[in-house]
Chains A and B, each alone.
Chain A
């Protein structure tokens, strides 16, 4: 909100430079900037301070902070002898939504241009001058913070104001020319026949003050904050009036604002103010009593408040108080709906005292008996592991488009009621769409060699959960292109299936999972081809493979992309096993190479497990180091070369023993898999 410094000066002596005033207000919770060449301040008003949405309110703050006196605007109101109540009756049908409605009548006004001092001030605070009637109500709004409305009395039928809720389907053309269809949630100001204003939000065109207006009805009311807020929101409207009503206006001060408006109207537009206020106040409101305890306030704030400081601050903020044991019985002014409890008064004191004067206390109070540490430490370890392998961690948008989730449980996706756009209307059901979007983004920028991982939550609809949504923690990654380009002594390393499989074999070592196997994936997974890395006794640790082109096409990706998804539940279980070190053998081992010729359909895995089984525990390591298919072997056959390493932990192994094991291996290979030694 913009406030004029010149205008503030009417209510408080300001001897400070504008930037010092801005600092002072900022330090008291009203963040301010100097604007318009030092003539005004732009102040951010938090939702709890409707009282500060006016020059008078800001002036009060300055008065308290600089120890000055606040001067209220002078009020000289001359009334004619005719009674306003003879011309207008007010009826409130629903007191909870309109606890108080007051109005005055000013007769025989001359509608015209406002005086220049008024126009200038309105302009500084960002309001356009319209005519002397509307301008006065805006002026008082900016001055005292209470919204007022002026009607052309000649257009109010039946001499009657009725405050009621709208009927479903009823319509009203509001001031800016919009035809609004109403429902029961809207509160209306009506004359004897029709609605004339949307209460607390905007007037109607049918009762608007115009050049032809002779007699003016000024409304000064208190409307229920929630009603005004809902009504304004339903039309996407935010007016100077609705902003204040929804935060809570001053139900006592509205009379002063009404009188001030009438007096200013008489001054700037001529006319006579009829005698009396028509004031209907069916639901009397009263600020709560607050039992303020000095000691508690000092303890919570960590400030030793002196009694004279407390009294002076309360006085300045117009909080009434009387002494009681250990503190004061207090009552907040009606313009401060935010002051309800002792702690609210503590904040007022701390704020005026100055947060920056509080001496920081860093006395650590020791262990509290709660768990310490981070339950995601294991995930941090996994992240570092994958980063070490060359993956870049990424964080992707969890809001996706229908096309992006296609193929990933799309039918179970959680939909937002109010998305920013359909492109971001569904919550991610898997990490992969976000990772594909990451790949696509980089491919478009000429980066083809990519490896990403992400850790985060995915969501699906689930009737059994309290929110109707199930949330799952996931860890997955994708890769494509090359891990490293061709170099002077090395062919390029590709990011392909065997690269990924190698990473996951390393992962099993990282997890200290020695007994693992690779098993084919069921058909309903996204990988094709793909495998699962599983523990020896069953559960999957990770699924991985290539993504089908049909899914990648949704992201305009035309190259092969490989990916993996960890089963965090299994990973955590494995990681939580205690680790014990195994002593290394002190005796030398023997290494032998064996080449077999087998039929092409025998898998390397079959050969490898045969070797492991028949090699007994003496065979410590098996690795395949050559695969050959071509001229040198029989048609329909391939040659596999293994390196075998034998070792014992308790003694030196002899060549003869190894020869014995090897001949057993060879005969079993020949019998079971028809493998011939080359």
Chain B
């Protein structure tokens, strides 16, 4: 059969096959391979072009190219139709079956709270430092102006490892280590684990976590301490929470203060959670006592500073409304899994 006739026949056959095509991707693919594939009809027709008589060669080539183009376009058009059909076709799969479950873990509420606190203070230029949990009496007490046999030691029942070595009762020990090493100005927070020799109960545990803050510079004022802590409380608890600055006593600060916030449960009107006071104490603070500066060799005439310390579990208890401190330490997964 002459080549032109074969081309014409191939065109007709393609049209017939398209008419009978079932609308599947597989059928469409096989059609494409049969016509356009490496050993398909169109390439094999092209193979015959060079052996045609010279005068009909260019005509045959042109007609064949047109057919190839036509087939390609048609297949492309059919592909679009097939895709959209297969997407709207009903499926037998029950889509209400659950997806593959993925169990992810959690960070501890102390860690969440610690990160919140760290983020707030590092955002206003505090660096972060860590110190030892076992320390000597000097760094935990003496240098902080809490001499042996002073009634202030009653405020912190202490675990002793030996006569002169204790489990730190606050992260303030690290204050001293830092000041012994560094020269002012300084702006640092110290997170960490601390210990108190107190019977375990709903309200107290033998250990907890603290973040201590220390800022030393020329002419730091008590009003700046108040401003900084007010900023912290606003960021941590929200701006609606009321803030109260109240005189208190700590041997390592003078003047000293405690910060109360309005009770998050009753908003300040008084409820059992705040013992009807409307206020909840959240931290202690004050201006670094000159006696502390004397111990680390800073000149109190030149430098002033403030310090503050807060209990992380206490903040977490307020924020997440947890009423039993022991929940932080018994690893109950039903508790831990909530802190995603």
Contacts and interface: CB of A to CB of B under 8 A. Distances in A.
Interface of A: 26-29, 31, 33, 46-49, 225-226, 229-230, 246-247, 299-303, 341, 343-344, 346-347, 350-351, 355-356, 358-376, 380, 383-384, 386-399, 414-420, 424, 427, 437-438, 441-442, 445, 447, 450-453, 456-457, 459, 466-469, 471, 483-484, 487-490
11 contacts: A343-B255, A350-B222, A360-B223, A362-B230, A375-B128, A387-B107, A394-B336, A420-B206, A445-B332, A445-B334, A484-B101
A380 B111 CA distance: 9
Contacts, number: 250
B246 A27 contact: yes
Given A29-B247, A467-B165, A302 B132 contact: no
Given A397-B207, A427-B134, A447-B333, 15 more contacts: A247-B151, A302-B226, A341-B290, A355-B245, A356-B244, A368-B187, A372-B122, A383-B111, A386-B105, A388-B105, A394-B331, A417-B163, A445-B334, A457-B193, A484-B103
Contacts of B321: none
Contact of B223 (A247, A359, A383): A359
In order of increasing CB-CB distance, the 8 nearest A-B pairs are A302-B223, A29-B247, A438-B331, A302-B221, A46-B249, A347-B255, A362-B227, A360-B227
B142 interface: no
B257 interface: yes
A399 to B, nearest CB: 6
Contacts of B333: 392, 442, 447, 450
Interface residues of B, dominant DSSP: mixed
A393 B336 contact: yes
B125 A366 contact: yes
Contacts of B197: 418, 420
B182 interface: yes
A387 B105 contact: yes
Interface residues of B, number: 89
B257 A488 contact: no
A303 B128 contact: no
Contacts of B222: 300-303, 350, 358
B82 interface: no
Contacts of B163: 417
Nearest to B336: A392
Interface stretch (B11-19, B153-161, B261-269): B153-161
A488 B96 CA distance: 12
B331 A374 contact: no
A362 B162 CA distance: 43
B224 A392 contact: no
Contact of B127 (A230, A372, A424): A372
Contacts of A484: 101-103
B295 interface: no
Contacts of A26: 246
A467 B154 contact: no
Contacts of B58: none
A405 B246 CA distance: 45
A390 B107 CA distance: 10
B78 to A, nearest CB: 28
B248 A29 contact: yes
A360 B125 contact: no
A391 B105 CA distance: 4
Given A26-B246, A301-B255, A424 B223 contact: no
Nearest to A349: B255
A246 B153 CA distance: 12
Given A361-B224, A399-B206, A414 B134 contact: yes
Contact of A355 (B125, B128, B219, B257): B257
Contact of B134 (A226, A376, A390, A471): A471
Contacts of A362: 224, 227-228, 230-231
A467 B324 CA distance: 34
B289 interface: yes
Contacts of A365: 217
The interface centre, meaning the residue of A46, A301, A373 with most chain B CB atoms within 10 A of its CB, is A46
Contact of A371 (B124, B127, B160): B127
B199 to A, nearest CB: 7
B248 to A, nearest CB: 6
